[in-house]
Chains A and B, each alone.
Chain A
Amino acid sequence: MSTDTEVSVFLEAVLNYFSTTVQQAAVCGTPFLAIDKVPELSDYTGTITISGKYSGLVAFTAPKSMLCVMLMRMQETDMCQENLCDLVGEIANTFSGNARRDFGHQFNISVPTVTIGRKNRLALPAGARPIVIPIGWRNYSSSLVVHLQ
């Protein structure tokens, strides 16, 4: 599958997620390859490990303020850390799971792992060139990082 196709699969998943779950459209910026530098992470990051026909990872990273507003839009009243971690992991899981429509049944996804803090780094192999898709929602900035082999 070409990089363009990979990007379009995830773009569709992102746009569908925001318009369905929080009923407010997201805007995706121009995707880029993170060459010679590791992708920057935000406050909370949910990561899904991919195995099977493909291997790699899909990670969604977002600021705390954005996740809080998303929870509110979902009628959730408890903004505890557990729910923020839960949401960021669930979003990464949904983007990855939806991608199976195009990548197929052998695109195996793990349960999410969640990290807190901007100083963390994704576990990418040396020389990896992950795709970064910037995601704007309301006035918040988040991003999706996709690395598939």
Chain B
Amino acid sequence: MQGTMVHRLMVVDDSNVIRRRIERSQDLDVQFVGAARNGREALEMHATLRPTLVTMDLTMPEMDGTECVARLIERDPELRILVVSALADKLTAIEALEKGARGFLCKPFTDRQLNEALQKLISA
């Protein structure tokens, strides 16, 4: 019998408040596996946590989200990445999608918007 896949979620954001909020607010059938404070940390943690689902901020110190998206997708093309960023211009969203992200959620967001965006990513 084939079991249902439970997604493993990693949150990447330089804000602790946002990291904790995403962890707390998501009410889907996903397993939270860890959180990283920047792109460099996310790459390190990816190797051990093996997430299948990632929320990714863009403006972060050390390594920004756009570069991190590209490098994570290089390693794992199946990884589902939702960019969660305050950068609201269309070009930024397009750039992130071109690097391999599968969705874009603009900050500020409600719990409902977050869950809908994650659900869309899981269902796709």
Contacts and interface: CB of A to CB of B under 8 A. Distances in A.
Report if A and B associate in a common complex.
yes
Interface of A: 16-17, 20-21, 23, 71, 74-76, 82-83, 86-87, 89-90, 93-101, 104-105, 107, 109-111
B87 interface: yes
A86 B17 contact: yes
Shortest Cβ-Cβ A-B pairs, 10 listed: A97-B86, A101-B88, A100-B89, A20-B108, A105-B91, A94-B86, A21-B108, A90-B15, A97-B87, A98-B88
Interface string B9-38: 000001111101100110000000000000
A111 B59 contact: yes
A101 B17 contact: no
A96 to B, nearest CB: 7
A100 B88 CA distance: 6
Given A20-B110, A93-B59, A74 B21 contact: yes
Interface in B37-60: 59-60
Size range of the chain B interface in the assembly: 20 to 34
Interface string B66-105: 0000000000000000000111110110000000000000
A76 B92 contact: no
Interface of B: 14-18, 20-21, 24-25, 59-61, 85-89, 91-92, 106-110
A71 B21 CA distance: 10
Contacts of A98: 86, 88, 106-107
A20 B107 CA distance: 9
A82 B24 CA distance: 19
A74 B88 contact: no
Contacts of A99: 88
Contact of A96 (B15, B25, B86): B86
B108 A111 contact: no
Contact of B107 (A23, A87, A94): A94
B17 A71 contact: yes
Contacts of B20: 76
Nearest to A74: B21
A89 B15 contact: yes
B71 to A, nearest CB: 19
